[in-house]
Amino acid sequence: MSRNRHNKKWTASAVSWRICLAVILVLTFLPFIFMLMTSLKDTHQFYHSFWLPKLPLQWGNYAYAFREMKMYILNSLLITAVSVTGIAVLSCVAGFVFARYEFPGREVIYYGIIVLMMIPGVLMLVPAFVWAKEIDTVLKGLDVWLTEAFHLKEQLGLKFIDSYWVMIMPYMAGGQVLGIYLLRSFFSQIDRDLFEAAEVDGAGPMRQLWHVAIPLARPVIGVVVIVSALAVWNNFLWPLVTTSSEDVMVITVGMLRYTTRAGTRYGEMFAGYTVSAIPLAILFALCTRLFMKGITSGALKA
């Protein structure tokens, strides 16, 4: 009799928990559901059916949003791909060097890099912009000198501000900090006998990194790639202050101009928000398992 009561209590408790989780899940996804519903309405449907879907569905909103935001999305994809590739490669090399080799000042340099994680990015905004402005001035002076030296008909257009590189280079430099921290910690835990065996077989440092360290560290590298991609894609302040041309503008800044152009056409506005979220949704769907595997293998426990 007591066992039946215990089972009933357990069942009631389980049902209660499931109901609570279902309510939390609905509340979590409600903004996304509202965004999708609104993106398929015209202005009349938006005002007369605010909370509920309305037929006919306005698929033309997505055609307009994609046409207006295509350049922004392509720019973001290019900058994210190049930046994340550079972050992953440089983090692997630096993490391997810090983990495997002894040299004077190693710990000082390493902890000096780690300290950068404690500095808010907004504090570096003005110094970084001044640095970028100085590089831009040097490149423009070089452009004038090359034009005059080689009697070119027109300048080469060398510049740093308002270009892809003004975003890519700072992202690669700043994004390495977390990658070096995670990969150095992971590489330090790998048995040294593996590297010694590879060295006996004639493998140099780069072959040891490529054939021994990187295959074991793939889940951790996946964590670095995912975190870096999200940070680069969502960065707003740096592209805002360093770019003004539509040709190099990324999605976070381009959304401001797109929202202004959409005006009170809320269906087209929310369709743009949905289109801008699709790349991150695809990244999340493809890399969730790799991210979880990286966490369980020690990427965020180091």
Mean pLDDT check: name the lowest of 65-74, 185-194, 230-239, 279-288: 279-288
87-129 residue pLDDT tens? 999 999 999 888 888 888 888 998 888 888 888 878 888 889 9
CB-CB contact of 113 with 177 (8 Å): yes
Mean pLDDT check: name the lowest of 32-46, 56-70, 136-150, 193-207: 193-207
> What is the rounded distance in angstroms from the CA atom of residue 245 to the CA atom of residue 300?
38
Task: Identify which of 231, 229, 227, 252 has the alpha carbon closest to the alpha carbon of residue 241.
Answer: 252
Q: What is the pLDDT of residue 302?
A: 45
Q: What percent of the chain has pLDDT over 90?
A: 15
* In the predicted structure, residue 273 carries a pLDDT above the cut 80: yes
Residues comprising the chain, all counted: 302
Confidence grade of residue 300 (pLDDT, cut at 50, 70, 90)? very low
Map tokens 């965020």 to a residue.
Answer: 300
Q: What is the pLDDT of residue 76?
A: 92
Confidence grade of residue 299 (pLDDT, cut at 50, 70, 90)? very low
Q: Average of pLDDT values for 167-176?
A: 90
Q: How many CA atoms lie within 13 A of 2 on its CB side?
A: 0
Q: What is the pLDDT of residue 239?
A: 92
Give the H/E segment covering residue 264: none
Statement: the pTM of the whole predicted model exceeds 0.95? no
Cα angle: 184, vertex 187, 190; to 5 degrees: 155
* In the predicted structure, residue 179 carries a pLDDT above the cut 60: yes
DSSP letters for 140-151: HHHHHHHHHHTT
Q: Where are the domains of the chain?
A: 60-296
Map tokens 């996304």 to a residue.
Answer: 32
Confidence grade of residue 213 (pLDDT, cut at 50, 70, 90)? confident
User: Options 1.10.3720.10, 3.90.780.10, 3.30.2020.30, 2.60.40.10; which CATH number does 60-296 get?
Assistant: 1.10.3720.10
